[in-house]
Structure 1
Amino acid sequence: MTIATLRALHAAIGTALDDIERVYSAQALDFPSLDAAFYATAPHTPEEDGAEALRGDPEVDRATKHIVAACGQMSALVHKPWFGLMADAQAGQLAAAIRFMETANVVEILKEAGPEGMHVKDIYDAILDLLPKNVEPKHPNGLNPVGLSHILRLLATAHYLREVKPDVFTNNRRSSYIDSGKTVAQLRDAPHTKYTDTDGVAAFVALWHVPRVFCFGRTSPDAPAPDSDNLEVAHSWAPFNLAFETKLGYFPWLELPENKDRLNRFGHAMTGTRQWDVQGGILRGFSWDELPEGAVLVDVGGGIGAQSIQVAEAHPHVRVLVEDRIQVTSAAVSAWGPDKAPLFESGRMAYRARDFLAPFAPPLEGAAAPAVFLLRLVLHDWQDQEAVKILRHLREAAGPDTKLLVGDMLLPYACHAPGSQSGEDDALFSVSKPFVDADSPLLPNLGRASIPGYLIDIMMMGMFDAREKAVGEMAALLLSAGWKVAEVRRSTPGALWAYTTAVPV
């Protein structure tokens, strides 16, 4: 029985903890804390040195391995396979973030800041101060404080840093392990000596190169740049462009004739993204039954309609119009096969080609404004300026009762953030609250259980120079385009996935 296996794993963890406690108690010591940095080259108290030395005790070593093995097996057993798969498949994002932390000297910068931590804006300035002379830090796609905060939050979620307050980070035991022992002044004056006379840990991490275009900007004035006269060209210069040697943005590139199979795969992959949500989550993310007969849902950038088709099937009184580029909509009906034919033949679900970066035109039949605009997994593909353009076009086409429904992940901080001070933002505060109580030993965002969302965040930065968003970031983005958040529904308690309903202002 699986429950019996879980109980056995739980018991194995408890037995191993008893063994560790017995060894440490005999020396009147406590096991080293994850939150406390331990710099190998810094002076320590006798208690700190003793606790560190006991980690090499054979009984402690055996017990810790048993705990890691049992926790890993238990996690694999109980966690939804999709999330474990995403964590492993996207592990390269975390690896890149760790290497970035070393390359950008974040550990040494935070070491001098002390346990109170440093705000991301100050970390950003310190990183720029240590940049090699041949790097152009002001390149539009260079590092910026917002992008830096998302990289550091991924590391904190994976327990490689601590976020002590929103956007304030400090080292912990794991990050301090990468410390070179050099001061910031030494790194500025003699960067080539960073790995000299060290234990080699930082040097080993540095073996794998982090593209500087991801970290800071172009490393050479000869590097290619986007052609601003070509509207199909990427608005930003992301690592994706370097990897595939193209000036096109990801979606125009995907639509090239030679990428036909990739485009088809992408459409079906969007069906797979249902796994981010609970089954039928979109049906609970909005009060569809309250819409009037004949209300129109416009699925903006909806691909082949993998999500909105669920609404069309469950709520016959709602008409669904899926919008995407002609290369997608022209093949959408055939992509579903014969099973969905009655839905299309009845007219309850249809497609039309439209570029959502262009104004919303032509209007719907009868010039009626849509009841709902759905943007699912769209905004995270675009930099803020393009996202605002998309949102403003929808705002211009909205009627006074039109709702905007955004389906995207909303990433919590890796710390306990201040709560709501008034009733004005109750909808936001309720969804931005930590997933656990303040006295819980777990990270407020559930740490490793939530890490797939933070990995996707870094992937968006790499592919589109975009990102997933925190609750406040999403609210500010919507408001700048004329939409105010009215309600946010998490698919389940502790889920990163959320449906954000906004109304015109």
Structure 2
Amino acid sequence: MTFATLRALHTVIGDALTEMERIYAARSAEGGTPLDYPSLDVPYYHNGPAAADVHSPQADAAEKLAAEADVVMAANHIVAACEQLAASVHRPFFTLMEGIMSGHLTACLGFLEASNTVEILRAAGPEGLHIAEVARRVDEVLGDEGKSANGAPLDPDKLSHILRLLATFHWIREVRPNVFANNRLSALIDSGKTPEQIHDSPMQKYDGTDCIAALVPMQSDEFFKAVVHMTDTLLPNKVRATSLRKLLDQREATVPPVQYKVPVNLAFRTEMPYFHWLELPENERRLKEFGLAMTGTRSWEIVENVIETFPWKDLPKDSVVVDVGGGIGSTSVVLARAFPHLRFVVQDRQHVVQIAPSVWKGEQAELIKSGRVSFLAQDFHTPQPPSVEVPGLGSVSSPAVFLMRGCTHNWPDAAVKPMLQHLRDAAGPETKLLIVDMVLPHACYDDWADGEDAIPGAERTLAPEGSPLLANLGRASATGYQLDLSMLALLDAKERTLREICALARSAGWKVSGMARAKGSVWAYTTATPV
């Protein structure tokens, strides 16, 4: 009944759109100002003077509402249904060609950001700029960095073909033939800096921004080049892979060819682990941009969501939460403000915890000064200390909660298991483990947790009851699965399904006892107790 399925997908789209309109109408009535959903054609800048100067209060309110959970949920249903509908009716050959050539979009987005075209078009305004002038301004802003191998300026014709592909995928607007302007999507990667500021201080392009733009060079360079070499690394005896290794291996014939373990190693011709390679002197800019890009990932999962997804308020007064691998304490500071009866100890590497207190100002600095948030140098690959010193409480032998946010997905199972074992060895009978990372649903209905092993909060499907959508919402959740393969390509690691997390936890002496998921997200908050 293919037509019935297509009609059902059409209904999903209509119902979700009706829900979004209802939410916007209700908010309009509350505020007394009509609100419309943000237009794709209208840039909404997030950084710099443009963000403050050009947005009306209505535009700000409409954009903020678009990010609220119920609107995101409805939008996810539309995205999932539209993609499934397109996959159903588009000619399979063209779907295949778009899939195998999707890297072209990645490359063009990388060029768009690296060339500072978004900032140049923002300066030009909504009427856009002719491609010849865009190319001239790109050369001007980049200076020596923009020179081609033979010293020739950027070819406007080549640039026009790059921008036209982006316009075809709605990443930019072609206002008139060969005249381009920003839209809501391209505005997302605007640094807010003027072209002149970027020319004078290219290394400071992302400083003082939300750092979303910094994700583009990292993803379109290291991540993209690593994933491209996935087949060559996982199937090293294929003819194309062996010929590639022979081409790259310039050593004596008597030396065995390098068997690169991880795709990123083959991509950049190094046997060093990714993070060690990043710390080489020649990668200074990559390393800085990686740190900034990690700030940009905040849009993936808002740290404040952790407030609602664990019963923090039920913990006894002065309970201690150890934030394992907690960096400068971003999560602990949020929780300490929300739950003043708790104490937080942030663990990370020595050089991180040394600088962490100096990062915080105002109210956050007071949390640290009062001892409600403290820092301890501790590598999570090594055993936990028998006790931790908590200001005002003294020595505490077992915390109420071990919190691990965004840690486990960076490591393969063989490395995560001992991490969790170290925490289990330091846990008391009532200690909880809270893992905050993506939990990837299967692309089909999963009844695994329906029986005696049922886990409270674990969903069987993200799709609405009775809908024809994939159980993981397909395209609406795709970035989680793409990040999963990025972890494979860079770190020999992965995002995990709930089944995988349960098995891994059990192998280290923990039993998963519950899971909560933020609305519209594949990020999850998985709780485990000692076995």
**Interval of TM-score (by shorter of Structure 1 and Structure 2):** 0.5 to 0.7
Q: State the Cα distance separating 1:272 from its structure 2 match.
A: 4.0
* 1:16-38 CA distance string (max 9 Å, x none): xxxxxxxxxxxxxx999459956
Q: Which of residues 472, 477, 480 in structure 2 aligns to 1:450? A: 477
CA distance in 1, matches of 2:284, 2:267: 19
Alignment of 1:2-401 (within 5 A): 3=36, 33=88, 90=219, 131-132=238-239, 135=242, 222-224=256-258, 237-242=261-266, 247-252=271-276, 269-278=293-302, 280-337=304-361, 340-365=364-389, 366-401=395-430
* 1:262-293 CA distance string (max 9 Å, x none): 76765665444332224610111211111111
Whether the 8 Å contact between 2:343 and 2:373 is mirrored in structure 1 is yes
* 1:43-67 CA distance string (max 9 Å, x none): xxxxxxxxxxxxxxxxxxxxxx9xx
Residue identity matched to 1:431? E
Name 2:495's counterpart in structure 1: 468
Q: State the Cα distance separating 1:318 from its structure 2 match.
A: 1.0
Residue identity matched to 1:452? T
Q: Does 2:440 align with 1:411?
A: yes
Q: State the Cα distance separating 1:488 from its structure 2 match.
A: 0.4
Name 2:193's counterpart in structure 1: none
The alpha-carbon distance between structure 1 residues 404 and 434, as it changes in their structure 2 partners (threshold 3 A), is same
Gap regions ≥5 residues in structure 1: 9-29, 41-64, 105-123, 136-191, 193-208, 214-219, 226-235
Residue identity matched to 2:374? A
| TM-score (ref. length: structure 2) | 0.54
| TM-score (ref. length: structure 1) | 0.56
CA distance in 2, matches of 1:80, 1:420: 42
Name 1:498's counterpart in structure 2: 524
Q: State the Cα distance separating 1:468 from its structure 2 match.
A: 0.5
The alpha-carbon distance between structure 1 residues 4 and 278, as it changes in their structure 2 partners (threshold 3 A), is closer
- Find the residue that maps to 1:488 and give its secondary structure: strand
The alpha-carbon distance between structure 1 residues 270 and 309, as it changes in their structure 2 partners (threshold 3 A), is farther
Whether the 8 Å contact between 2:245 and 2:257 is mirrored in structure 1 is no
CA distance in 2, matches of 1:250, 1:134: 21
The alpha-carbon distance between structure 1 residues 77 and 262, as it changes in their structure 2 partners (threshold 3 A), is closer
Whether the 8 Å contact between 2:408 and 2:416 is mirrored in structure 1 is yes
Residue identity matched to 2:387? P
Residue identity matched to 2:474? G
* 1:97-139 CA distance string (max 9 Å, x none): 68867x89xxxxxxxxxxxxxxxxxxx9xx78x823975xxxx
Name 1:49's counterpart in structure 2: none
Residue identity matched to 2:311? S
Across the aligned residues of Structure 1 and Structure 2, the Cα RMSD in angstroms comes to 4.7
Gap regions ≥5 residues in structure 2: 1-33, 42-84, 96-164, 174-182, 190-211, 249-253, 390-394
Q: State the Cα distance separating 1:260 from its structure 2 match.
A: 7.7
Name 1:435's counterpart in structure 2: 463
- Find the residue that maps to 1:277 and give its secondary structure: coil
* 1:392-422 CA distance string (max 9 Å, x none): 0000000000000000001112233345441
CA distance in 2, matches of 1:31, 1:272: 31
CA distance in 2, matches of 1:212, 1:474: 40
Name 2:114's counterpart in structure 1: none
Whether the 8 Å contact between 1:375 and 1:407 is mirrored in structure 2 is yes
Percent identity between the aligned chains?
A: 38
CA distance in 2, matches of 1:361, 1:481: 18
Whether the 8 Å contact between 2:225 and 2:267 is mirrored in structure 1 is no
CA distance in 2, matches of 1:332, 1:31: 48
Name 2:194's counterpart in structure 1: none
Q: How many residues align?
A: 345
Whether the 8 Å contact between 2:424 and 2:508 is mirrored in structure 1 is yes
Residue identity matched to 1:446? L
CA distance in 2, matches of 1:380, 1:374: 14
CA distance in 2, matches of 1:351, 1:321: 6
- Find the residue that maps to 2:313 and give its secondary structure: helix
Residue identity matched to 1:284? E
Q: For structure 1, which segment, 267-276 or 317-326, has the greater mean C-alpha deviation from structure 2 after superposition? A: 267-276
Whether the 8 Å contact between 1:372 and 1:404 is mirrored in structure 2 is yes
The alpha-carbon distance between structure 1 residues 447 and 96, as it changes in their structure 2 partners (threshold 3 A), is farther
